[in-house]
A and B are shown apart, each in its own frame.
Chain A
Amino acid sequence: MTNSFAVAFAVARKDLTAEWRTRELVPALAQFVVLALVIANFGFQIDARNAPSIAPGVLWLALVFAGLVAFGRAFAAEREQASLEAMLMTPASPVAIFAGKAIAAGLLLVGCEAILLPALSLFFGTPMSAPIVAAVLLATIGMAALGCLFAAMVARIRSRELLLPLLTLPLWIPFIVAGGHAVQVAMGAGGSYDQALALLVDFDILFVVLTSLAARFVLDE
């Protein structure tokens, strides 16, 4: 019998080990988010007064596009090397395999966020506080679950690069709205931070459960 936790852990570790050795994704994503911040820095007339209202938007835009690339690669690489079928030909639960892929892709995005948040603080002069980090990390959980599910769904389709954003972005909107609000409040805007964070937790639970249920059918067929 296979242990689902052991399988999820092994899949995540395998993906992270492969990334550590090849350094294919994280350096490229880090470069992308820094470039996005540089462009935003020159594109907007940033000063101490408007920075807290512009910075959250730039943060989420950079995060969303970095996420699309990270989650897209999670399954595209498996398809390219024909290794997904080898994994699915074992008695391991497809849900555990999916969870492992989502955890690894989510952690790679967290690695990218570790560059994005200090860089945002540097370019926009906004504070980097624990509430901002908490909101971004909570949003990453749900975004990783949804992003990986759709990445698995479109991985075998030729126009996957086009389809992945079209399917994923509409369902990421709740995370962008709640996460964006939480970050704005943490940067000094009015509103309830706790309420936005609670909403993020609710969305995380909802989408993690839904994607786990759907993953079995997406991966097994």
Chain B
Amino acid sequence: MSIVVANGLTHWFGSEVALESIDLAIDAGEHMAVLGENGAGKTTLLRILATAARPTSGRLQIMGLDALRERKRLRARIGFVAHAPGLYPALSATENLNFFCTLQGIRRTRVAETLALVGLSEVAKRPAGQLSRGMQQRLAIGRAILHDPKLLVLDEPDASLGSDGADLLATVMRDRTVVLATHDHALANRLCQRTLVLRHGRSVGTPTRLHLVQ
């Protein structure tokens, strides 16, 4: 069963086309990598799939719901890691996650478990502004999985993660449907079953893992 079904997704920024007629179907539990050069439209596509942006035209269904009309319901089931970590620097790692627990309407009991999962238990009380860039990215990933989303949308999450970043991503992606934008083909090959390659906002094919290796 497809979790994400997109037909003709198109997005314009003024007179510039950022995405052009993207068709997609992503099955439950599938991991799809989105590859492409800078400006290829990866972030625009991911923001639309995460319901953070609306396409100029096209249809998008996520988990059987119209993603343009049911954004609030879907946001409870989607986890999104954007380019910037989007944390509150004056609040500690725990306080950041506690705050998002309230916004998600979930209990705070998941916070300690999530911090342990992303390897931040030891710095849980440290202000987010004093964490390294990699730790901030881990905290942003922790925030994205706090509410146990079915669909995880990750926009270059490997940026500034340490050497064990791929292992962390593999852990958080387990048992979830994932769309992952990255420049790292090896990472995409390791973590994803399928790739979508974008060039100037257009899909230029969805090679399999074998094609990528070749």
Task: Point out residues on A near B: beta carbons under 8 Å.
Answer: 1-3, 6-7, 10, 14, 17-18, 21-22, 81-92, 97, 220-221
Contacts and interface: CB of A to CB of B under 8 A. Distances in A.
Interface residues of B, number: 31
B88 A90 contact: no
A86 B103 CA distance: 10
Given A14-B91, A22-B90, A82 B82 contact: yes
Given A86-B100, A91-B73, A21 B86 contact: no
Contacts of B99: 10, 14
A17 B52 contact: no
B194 interface: no
A108 B53 CA distance: 32
Given A90-B75, A91-B75, A85 B103 contact: no
Tell me whether chain A's interface is mostly helix, strand or loop, or mixed: helix
B87 interface: yes
Contact of A85 (B86, B88, B127): B86
B102 interface: yes
Contacts of A92: 102-105
A20 B182 CA distance: 38
B138 interface: no
Contact of A10 (B76, B78, B89, B102): B102
Most buried by B among A1, A83, A84: A83
Contact of B90 (A7, A18, A86): A18
A122 B54 CA distance: 55
A91 B103 CA distance: 7
A127 B5 CA distance: 68
B202 interface: no
A38 B50 CA distance: 52
A91 B105 contact: yes
Nearest to A88: B52
A17 to B, nearest CB: 7
Contacts of B104: 2, 90-92
Contacts, number: 75
A82 B143 CA distance: 14
Contacts of B89: 81
B140 to A, nearest CB: 8
17 contacts: A2-B102, A7-B103, A10-B103, A14-B95, A17-B90, A18-B90, A21-B127, A81-B84, A81-B88, A81-B89, A82-B84, A83-B87, A86-B143, A89-B50, A90-B103, A90-B147, A91-B103
B8 interface: no
A89 B84 contact: no
Contact of B88 (A2, A14, A221): A14
Interface in B85-138: 85-91, 95, 99-100, 102-105, 127
A90 B52 CA distance: 10
A54 B17 CA distance: 57
Nearest to A92: B103
A113 to B, nearest CB: 24
Nearest to B81: A86
Contacts of A221: 54
Given A86-B100, A90-B100, 12 more contacts: A2-B103, A7-B102, A81-B87, A81-B89, A83-B86, A86-B86, A88-B52, A89-B52, A90-B76, A91-B73, A92-B104, A220-B71
Nearest to B128: A81
A189 B150 CA distance: 65
Contacts of B73: 91
Given A2-B104, A85-B52, A91 B72 contact: yes
Contacts of B82: 82, 85-86
Contact of A82 (B50, B86, B91, B127): B86
A85 B75 CA distance: 12
A34 B112 CA distance: 45
Contacts of A89: 50-52, 75, 78, 80
